[in-house]
Structure 1
């Protein structure tokens, strides 16, 4: 007769344990459609609706006056939305220029097959000019010494390169002062390897209710244009407006306007003119990964900044300030089952907690929306900017790469979805 050996305790079969079925047992959840094949699963992600961006471009085009051209600003990975898909959608919509902030961003667009004009915003260091010339990236120039450096670099490459001259109309960041710009233009026009293609400036507060200084900047910009016209010079592209300027200062449109946030369905402030039916393209989601039952007096999180006043039920979401969520305490909310669940305690690097006492149907694996719409409720970028005491730009670019981007593609084979 064979000998029966008992299993060690750690290897005991599941049948030896009490068969308890928890009402909050998680249901197996598939990955969202479009999950990047190279990324392991994670119960937190960002969804980008490319169809919404395409519709936004169309609505902006319908809103624009006849003859106005657009430059799409796709810097910082198109404000976190994905530089390649957004750039492709912009060009499909008829945008004339793209613009980025770094040389690397421009090179990436070129190496991805994009041939449209690309403007390098800001000022370049001389070490960048050989790359800009090689990849046909158009430089913005606001320093006479840098104009000479670029001219020499282009001459060595036996090229004649376009430039856009930046005018400092009062922001005092980049550019030649509006009342000292004449010598800059003389220098550029005297260089055989440079071609004056554009002149631009940048508003300091076009998205605020008080447009006094914006109109001062407009007047200074017009002084420069009048000076050029007096010398028989008419650059092909005169551009001053950012998104706020496009919306609220039509007298400053000139030949082209620069839009970055607007095609993404986001406005720079609460006071700008609205275009009907623009749709935010970004949604940030996470799944509930833990639930806790609090008793009166229990505390939550680092520093114990929340103390329960009664029995409460809280859900844990695997997102934190390491992902770009604001590091707040007992402020803000997420959406679960279409209802607001307030944050409790402090946001940690990798997790935060929300109160789901009044959402009894909340279960492990349920989706929470951190940014975007669920049901009839919405968490906006403006709301998150308020938690940060910052601006919507920081909210959008602040989401870290460790949050996978999932692209909801356009229908058809040419869907611009490759990130």
Structure 2
């Protein structure tokens, strides 16, 4: 369960299960008809799982292309030797067009000024700048208005330094089966694509499905699907759970750095929000805190797993450490268990024995979504791939 995987420099780490990642990637690939490509979304360091390592596993399991959020994220993949197509899911600053061209990173395009600057740079370097046209169909985030697609393309297509490799939009309500706004967005998107094709404009790979749409709407797969959170073993919504089985990829572990039997009435952590109420209660410390992604809002609300048993986290979560309580075996114990010792492995996220703490459980306690939970844990903790 991780006893031998602890880094030498700190008794806290993230475990990434490459086998689970491989199985999830294949599960999504199996949803697609032959010829439909899969773009794996690895932004935010693969949702906290480590983009470089994840890309290699995903590619071997069937992913065709990859998507990131920023130019820096794309560069990190290129510098690691990743040569497959990479899309940046927004239009970057105009100042970085040379970087895009030199490293073959495809930007999303939705303003004429950026498109022409990108094309000029590509032509000056003797290259063609590939891009994906982003269309606004109802999410009100990015993109050319779907009604203006033909006019926009005519305004940039004269440039010999540009080549449209794809056209896409993004759904706001794909996780709601039968939602009318989803149907409206898809109708607008397909109408815009048809209008461009009718005008003799090449749209490249046409794609609109995110993770929930890939699962729930096979009729909208088109040329390619963009799959993100599901690859990491997290359901994008409760509505998708009956349709695909996914294996969690991330675990978060730590080892106990201190354990004592405080006197009854002793307080724990900043503000002393927890008070030891009975004898035979251990208070154990682990080196994980809110700077590692364990949100301070979870203080006195969450559990950890030790020896396959849930133990309550107690006191305010600190920046680099937190504490939990162990109700050692007595007749009055609420959650009776054996003593915890220095160096014992503690699970913050993941499975231990028959118990599991999921990103969904933690997200519910935080009032957020599972995506944010894993992204947060990926910021500082060292990753161990198993």
Spell out, residue by residue over 1:37-83, the C-alpha distance to the aligned partner (whole angstroms, 9 max, x if none).
Answer: xxx42111111111221122222222333332100111111111111
Deviation at 1:87, TM superposition (A): 0.9
Q: What corresponds to 1:351 in structure 2?
A: 321
Q: 1:222 aligns with which of 164, 178, 190?
A: 190
Instruction: Tell me, yes or no, if structure 1 residue 129 matches structure 2 residue 97.
Output: yes
Check the 8 A contact 1:329/1:345 in 2, yes or no: yes
Deviation at 1:30, TM superposition (A): 7.0
Q: 1:365 aligns with which of 339, 343, 347?
A: 343
Larger radius of gyration: 1
Q: What corresponds to 2:5 in structure 1?
A: 32
Q: What corresponds to 1:101 in structure 2?
A: 69
Check the 8 A contact 2:134/2:144 in 1, yes or no: yes
Check the 8 A contact 1:305/1:329 in 2, yes or no: no
Q: What corresponds to 1:166 in structure 2?
A: 134
Q: 2:352 aligns with which of 374, 386, 410?
A: 374
Deviation at 1:276, TM superposition (A): 4.6
Check the 8 A contact 1:168/1:201 in 2, yes or no: yes
Deviation at 1:272, TM superposition (A): 1.9
Higher mean alpha-carbon deviation, 169-178 vs 311-320, is at 311-320
Deviation at 1:336, TM superposition (A): 0.7
Check the 8 A contact 2:42/2:66 in 1, yes or no: yes
- Following TM superposition, the consecutive aligned residue runs of length 4 or more in structure 1 with deviations greater than 6 angstroms are none
Q: 1:213 aligns with which of 165, 176, 181?
A: 181
Check the 8 A contact 1:52/1:279 in 2, yes or no: yes
In terms of fraction of residues, the more helix-rich structure is: 2
Q: What corresponds to 2:333 in structure 1?
A: none
Distance 1:400 1:55, change over 3 A: closer
Higher mean alpha-carbon deviation, 350-359 vs 375-384, is at 350-359
SS at match of 1:56: helix
Deviation at 1:94, TM superposition (A): 2.7
Spell out, residue by residue over 1:134-171, the C-alpha distance to the aligned partner (whole angstroms, 9 max, x if none).
Answer: 11111110112211111111111121222210001112
Spell out, residue by residue over 1:166-212, the C-alpha distance to the aligned partner (whole angstroms, 9 max, x if none).
Answer: 00111222111112222111123221111122100111232245733
Instruction: Tell me, yes or no, if structure 1 residue 407 matches structure 2 residue 385.
Output: yes
Equivalent positions of 1:291-302 (< 5 A) are: 291-302=259-270
Q: Using the alignment, how far apart are the partners of 1:364 and 1:262 within structure 2? A: 36
Spell out, residue by residue over 1:83-123, the C-alpha distance to the aligned partner (whole angstroms, 9 max, x if none).
Answer: 11111122222322111111122122222222211111111
Q: Using the alignment, how far apart are the partners of 2:282 and 2:238 within structure 1? A: 35
Q: What corresponds to 1:314 in structure 2?
A: 283
SS at match of 2:323: strand
Spell out, residue by residue over 1:251-298, the C-alpha distance to the aligned partner (whole angstroms, 9 max, x if none).
Answer: 221110111222211122223244554211111001112223244433
Deviation at 1:356, TM superposition (A): 1.2
Which runs of 5 or more structure 1 residues have no equivalent in the other structure?
A: 1-28, 409-419
Length-normalised TM-score, structure 1: 0.85
Q: Using the alignment, how far apart are the partners of 1:277 and 1:386 within structure 2? A: 21
Distance 1:332 1:296, change over 3 A: same
Q: Using the alignment, how far apart are the partners of 2:164 and 2:299 within structure 1? A: 52
SS at match of 1:165: strand
Distance 1:319 1:209, change over 3 A: farther
Distance 1:384 1:318, change over 3 A: same
The CA RMSD over aligned residues, in Å, is: 1.9
Equivalent positions of 1:82-93 (< 5 A) are: 82-93=50-61
Q: Using the alignment, how far apart are the partners of 2:277 and 2:47 within structure 1? A: 41
